[in-house]
A = this chain, B = another copy of it.
Amino acid sequence: MRRFAVCGHEAPLDPDFSLDALTGAGRLDLLARCVTAGFLLSHGIREEVEVSLVLQDELTVRFDGRELKQLHPDERSAAALVKTALEGKRGAIGAMEANPSPGVYVGKRGLAETLNRADGTLVELHEDGDPAVNVTPPEDPVFVLSDHRDFADEEADLLAERADHRIRVGPERLHADHTVTVAHNWLDTVGYTTY
């Protein structure tokens, strides 16, 4: 399974944002595109994918591709699923997530707890990392990346301690959603060897 965890530092914790103004809602436009980049193929969905949006290191909205429905390619579609998840966050109690819509879970957990429950090879995606081509694409990667801001100190420390790899996908600094797309391509082609 391919897992992506995206740290949304300014993302809303409550559903009182407008789907018509996602940029102003803590850059939910970017997080929404990370979700669609994570799941959508031209005419289908990547089922063996999980995307977790870690909101303010406090609340995590997790999408599971095996159960996900109603995800369309536009930003609003993914953002609407986040909104529904936040509307249902009261159902998340202790370590237990709520499941407000098919394949969408919300839980009271930050990055550390999100990574605790994600089995696989932990890969930090960062502009200062090693070139992707120097690393063998893992079978079950857990990619962690940041939104428009850099990782917070605690996140960076956590990743420095736990990550198996720290890689960059190219010489340019890309948006988080574009990085998700390139990471998929790196895996799809098994490190640019299989087309």
Tell whether A185 pairs with B169 under 8 Å between CB atoms, given A23-B73, A195-B131.
Answer: yes
The minimal Cβ–Cβ distance linking A159 to chain B, given in whole angstroms, is: 18
Tell whether A192 pairs with B192 under 8 Å between CB atoms, given A72-B23, A172-B41, A174-B42.
Answer: yes
Please state if B172 and A29 are interface contacts (CB–CB under 8 Å). Answer: no
Complex alpha-carbon distance, A75 and B77, angstroms:
12
The minimal Cβ–Cβ distance linking A116 to chain B, given in whole angstroms, is: 28
Please state if B175 and A22 are interface contacts (CB–CB under 8 Å). Answer: no
For A43, the chain B residues whose CB sits under 8 A away are: 173
A-B interface, 5 closest residue pairs, ranked by CB to CB distance from nearest: A131-B195, A42-B173, A29-B74, A170-B188, A181-B181
Binding site for B on A (CB under 8 A): 19-20, 22-23, 29-30, 33, 37, 40-43, 72-77, 127, 131-133, 148, 168-175, 178, 181-182, 184-185, 188-189, 192-195
